[in-house]
Chain A
Amino acid sequence: MILIWMICILLAGGILCWLTAQKSVVLAKWIALLTVTADLVIACWLFRIYQAFPDNTSWFINYQTDWIPALGISFHVAMDGFSHVLLLLTFFLGILAVLCSWKEIREKTGFYFFNLLWTIAGISGVFIAMDMILFYFCWEVMLIPMYFLITIWGDARRRYAGFKFFIFTQVGSLLMLLSLLALYFIHGDQTGTYTFDYFSLLRTSTGSPVMTWIMLGFLIAFAIKLPVVPFHNWLPDAHGEAPTAGSLVLAGLLLKTGAYGIIRFVLPLFPESAAAIGPWMILLGVIGIIYGALLAFSQTDLKRLIAYTSVSHMGFVLVGIFSFSNIAMQGVVMQILTHGLSTGALFVMAGMLKERLHTRDITKMGGLWTAMPAMGGIAILFTMASAGLPALGNFIAEFFILLGTFTSHPTFSIIATLGLILSAVYSLRMMQKVFMGQQTATEPINDISARELVIMAALSISIVALGLFPQPVIDTVQHLSTIHPLLHE
């Protein structure tokens, strides 16, 4: 029941923001902040329930009630350690998203926060829904408010970017809908009970060749979200044009739903087909790592640059998942968390720079370290996180993924490792173009404010903590080794 509360708080908070904004914009902002904070507090409090549980392989919260019983649709939410860490990330980044919109959004503030909170609600729903229709519903709930965030509060080319984002993800959603209906009927034929329940569908026998096609439907939907090259084209446009909080939520959370979907649904529901397609997916992942890095290097728009680094980093996720190695799977979870933090931080920073300089073009920046020493120091931290420097969380993630993959696919792993060189190259270029050289701006530029410092400090502390103390996360998601037969070894 507590899980439903968490989502309801967000939904209600969103509506409340919209309503109060007509009277007082400041109040609406505080409501938004309090709503997400309340959820983070609840999610942290759940740790106690979680720790009381004897073994962490199980679903420590499970709530089910009827929704449309005639069609076998129920309102089923459940949470294991994996969902839990993702929810923590969602609410943590949610707070930062509210904070970094504090001054940036000046028009239709109420409606803005409504959309922001509903997107976050949709994302949280995706991470806990255990009924396929409910999952699909949440999948759409996070999409539509996001579309509004981009097209209303975005930059100059926001309409183009919004459409592109919508059409790409909607094509994926449609394929997923077809697949889950097919799965529903096949399961019904096999067992006689027609249900959309995840745990029942897990018991579908998956021998038939048609299963490969059904799996592909799911996989493509998630691959577009992740994104996997060649389905990544929506991402640079959406990231580039979205407002700061939009980019933060997109990079930090929305992409992660793709990874979550593959781990939660594709692998356990279709073990044979997933194993068969594994090498091809690793190949796509490796291509993504290299291709994304090459593109990131050549960009001149700061936000597009960061967007392409996401493509590169998400390639690691795909490689890690389909290498079917337990170590790599832990690395994938770490990558999901740390990429959310580090790339989120870079986007927030890009937003802060844009507020000051009114441009995203890095060729027009330069020498900002002099004017903003604190920002420069933090920028070093996060560019280095992005380049996979040890002691920061991203290193643990990439190290686990590459090490785990090396045992089964050494060649792919080596090519992916070369991505580490490229990541250094594009990270340093970004750092250099923005912060080094002669200062180009003529008007005085302020270093970061207290509110901004809180955001960046929270992110910095988290990324260092994950780099030096990753064990709690690893323990929480240890049970992922049971989701696929190949992972047991």
Chain B
Amino acid sequence: MQQYLFLIPALPLLGFLVLSMAGKHLSRNLIAGIGAGSICAAALVALVLSASFLQSPPESGAYTQILWNWFLTGHLSADISLRVDALSLVFICIITFIGALIHIYSAEFMRQDRDYARFFASMNLFVCAMLTLVMADNLVLMYLGWEGVGLCSYLLIGFWYETPGNYRAANKAFVITRIGDTAMIIGLFLLFKELGTLYIPDILTKATEHFNSGSSTITLIALLLLSGGIGKSAQLPLQTWLPDAMAGPSPVSALIHAATMVTAGVYLIARMHTLFELSPTAMHITAIIGAVTLFIAGCSAMVQTDIKRILAYSTISQIGYMFLALGVGAWSAAIFHFFTHAFFKALLFLAAGAVIEVLHHEHDIFKMGGLRKKMPVIYYTFTIGAAALAALPLVTAGFFSKDQILWYAWSADGGHPLLWAIGLAGAFITALYSTRLILVVFFGEMKTTPGHLPGAAMTVPLVILAFFSVAVGWIEWPHNLLHVSLFSEHVEHALPATTLKAGLPPEIVFQLIAVGVSLFGIYSGYVLYYGESPLLMRWKQSQGLMDVRNFLFKGWKFDQLYDTLLVRPFLFITRINKADVSDKLYTAIADINLHLNKLFSVSQNGSLRWYVTGVLVGILFIITLQLLL
């Protein structure tokens, strides 16, 4: 199996090459066939790979394949080489499997678009880059994938480049993630300076010998890598690009900005877990960032009116949960939440895309309503996705993963009651806005007349994703309920097991509280948004509450803050120096010469009397000088 690893990223790459070079000569069916076919083929290879990996795990814990030597100078070397262990396998499966479903969906969704080939070319390139990111065995190759997904994200957010808002969002996404990436590459430099290698398995083994736990260097390295993760995964304070990134087509939001790319930060931290474990400070910071982000983004999600922005803020918030889990050392819980979240969030985005399409590009949820009867498939699948997001107990995958995180937020080694409390508040908020979303979009009276309903290519992926949004939770049960933990057993081949504090209350107490909070959130949503709610009306009249609402609506005004602090000063500096101030020096030299020229050319006037006087004055001057000296 090992020798076929390259096929997984190579097939999408091939799709990209064909579509980008010959795209304009191909028929739409062929484009869709190549675009979706390449990902489906990669998914099949990944399926075979997982089967062989699970049946007979490789002895070293990973499949590896070296394709070619990239560069080698001194002791700096990197290969183009792939490595698949238990952790990357989870990511590969999600990327190819969900990627394939989203590509099939897009074949119909984007059917009328002018740039059909460009869309699929960019999507295929994205999948290739994302697979490179998770399969890389050294940090330079990983950085290649890392930047590659950034490029594709930029291309796809700005896919409809004619609208100013879209390309602005694309630029914003690229630049903000670039800030994180730059921190990350500085981390790479530091890592290389300290350890002399960028090969991931070597780093992990050498780090424990080289660094003292908690030393300032390792904390710095971990924090720099964390910054890279924060940028890509849209965590505080670099989260502002993700809501705007919704300018891209809905399948893009589903694939890149929900299921895969935005979780690259989670992958990076999990991959480099040894470095983080050596630095308790960095772990705490990760947990705190996750907790604060999940709360801040959740609050913003509550008041958004654009269906995709609600989901975007919700994605930021859910990734916050993953960071929280990583920070407290609940490695497998974080990856499990990534796993379930990929299914239900992709589902929500695709279903939302279908709703938007049917309602003639209407994004405002308050102009939707009453769609339950008109589009039952979308309604049921969307509800399943929203239920998973709200962590409806036992019947949804979201419950199993979030419940784990909440439990570990208190009980794991790095846990803290406060982190747990914030997580719990987030769970309440999540349940509330999920309910709001369903009730406002699908219940009540109809405000926009629906157009054509989507065909099978769009609904079948929804149904499949809905099935998995329920079913994948059952592979990992809480220990006290049922002894099924297939997922953590698998992931713990690559990641350390979570250690618990001593002397905790029984787990069931936490679970009941979490379930209670989720249900209470759903109930609150029901009270507020089902039909006319007097409470909501009263709130709308209060000026203070509306100010808070606007503050949350604008994402806690981070954009304004950065605009004032960074963007405006930058624009100001570049504007005043457009003509390059240093040029003044040279024009001054030229001007002085011109003036001197004018000055002296006065003496060249052709008048003999002037010349004689000049000569005489000169002679007098020299004689005086001689006499004096």
Q: What is A's interface to B at a CB cutoff of 8 Å?
A: 164, 229-230, 232-233, 236, 294-295, 297-299, 326-327, 330, 367, 369-370, 373, 377, 380, 384, 389-391, 395-396, 399-400, 402-403, 406-407, 410, 413-414, 417-418, 420-421, 424-425, 428-429, 432, 435-439, 468-471, 474, 478
Contacts and interface: CB of A to CB of B under 8 A. Distances in A.
Nearest to B118: A373
Interface stretch (B178-186, B247-255, B310-318, B395-403): B178-186
Given A437-B167, A438-B162, A470 B574 contact: no
Contacts of A390: 140, 143-144, 147-148
B540 to A, nearest CB: 38
A331 to B, nearest CB: 9
B182 A418 contact: yes
Describe A's contact surface by its main secondary structure.
helix
A396 B71 contact: yes
Contacts of B272: none
A445 to B, nearest CB: 15
9 contacts: A236-B580, A294-B577, A295-B580, A390-B143, A390-B144, A390-B148, A400-B73, A421-B182, A468-B80
B193 A470 contact: no
A114 B118 CA distance: 43
Contacts of A395: 144, 147
A437 B71 contact: no
A407 B73 contact: no
Contacts of A384: 151
B609 to A, nearest CB: 37
B94 interface: no
Nearest to B575: A298
B161 A327 contact: no
A436 B162 contact: yes
B183 to A, nearest CB: 9
Interface stretch (B292-300, B364-372, B411-419, B581-589): B581-589
A432 B171 contact: yes
B118 A326 contact: no
Contact of A437 (B74, B76, B164, B575): B164
Interface in B344-401: none
B578 interface: yes
A403 B580 contact: no
Contacts of A437: 161-162, 164, 167
B171 A470 contact: no
B161 A369 contact: yes
A474 B71 contact: yes
Contact of A295 (B69, B72, B154, B577): B577
Pick from B69, B179, B586 the residue with the most CB of A within 10 Å.
B586
Given A389-B151, A428-B171, A377 B582 contact: no
Contact of B574 (A233, A297, A380): A297
A389 B147 contact: yes
What bracket does the count of chain B residues touching chain A fall in? 35 or more
A311 B175 CA distance: 21
Nearest to A292: B580
Given A424-B175, A424-B178, A403 B76 contact: yes
B189 A403 contact: yes
Interface in B9-44: 20, 24
A428 B168 CA distance: 10
A384 B582 CA distance: 29
Given A299-B578, A469-B68, 18 more contacts: A230-B585, A232-B582, A294-B573, A294-B574, A295-B574, A330-B73, A373-B24, A377-B20, A389-B148, A391-B144, A402-B189, A403-B76, A410-B190, A428-B154, A428-B171, A436-B158, A468-B80, A470-B70
Contacts of B72: 471, 474
Interface in B105-161: 115, 118, 140, 143-144, 147-148, 151, 154-155, 158, 161
A387 to B, nearest CB: 8
Contacts of B143: 390
B182 to A, nearest CB: 5
Contacts, number: 123
A400 B575 CA distance: 32
Contacts of B71: 396, 470-471, 474
A237 to B, nearest CB: 9
B17 to A, nearest CB: 11
A178 to B, nearest CB: 20
Contacts of A380: 155
B565 to A, nearest CB: 15
B192 interface: yes
Nearest to A433: B167
Nearest to A438: B162
B162 A298 contact: no
Describe B's contact surface by its main secondary structure.
helix
Given A384-B151, A391-B148, A471-B71, A233 B582 contact: yes
A458 to B, nearest CB: 15
A436 B192 CA distance: 39
Contacts of B24: 373
Given A230-B585, A436-B162, A438-B162, A413 B189 contact: yes
A471 B70 contact: yes
A218 B597 CA distance: 31
B576 to A, nearest CB: 9
B162 A399 contact: no
Nearest to B168: A432
Contacts of B161: 367, 369, 435-437
Contact of A421 (B154, B158, B179, B575): B179
B174 interface: yes
A390 B161 CA distance: 24
B399 to A, nearest CB: 40
A89 B158 CA distance: 35
A417 B182 contact: yes
Contacts of B155: 380
A305 to B, nearest CB: 11
Pick from A377, A417, A436, A437 the residue with the most CB of B within 10 Å.
A436
Pick from A326, A367, A391, A468 the residue with the most CB of B within 10 Å.
A391
A194 B499 CA distance: 78
Given A299-B578, A406-B190, A436-B162, A399 B140 contact: yes
B455 to A, nearest CB: 28
Nearest to A426: B574
A421 B231 CA distance: 13
Contacts of B577: 294-295, 298
A425 B175 contact: yes
A243 B186 CA distance: 40
In order of increasing CB-CB distance, the 6 nearest A-B pairs are: A390-B144, A298-B574, A406-B189, A436-B161, A298-B578, A436-B167
Interface in B208-253: none
Contacts of A295: 574, 577-578, 580
Nearest to A366: B162
A48 to B, nearest CB: 23
Contacts of A294: 573-574, 577
Nearest to B193: A407
B242 to A, nearest CB: 18
Nearest to B167: A436
Interface string B45-76: 00000000000000000000000111111101
A370 B162 contact: yes
Contact of A428 (B69, B174, B586): B174
A230 B582 contact: yes
Contact of A326 (B74, B164, B181, B575): B74
Contacts of B190: 406, 410
Given A326-B73, A436-B167, A437-B161, A421 B178 contact: yes
A233 B580 contact: yes
A421 B161 CA distance: 22
Contacts of A474: 71-73
A436 B577 CA distance: 26
B149 to A, nearest CB: 11
Contact of B186 (A298, A389, A396, A417): A417
A439 B583 CA distance: 35
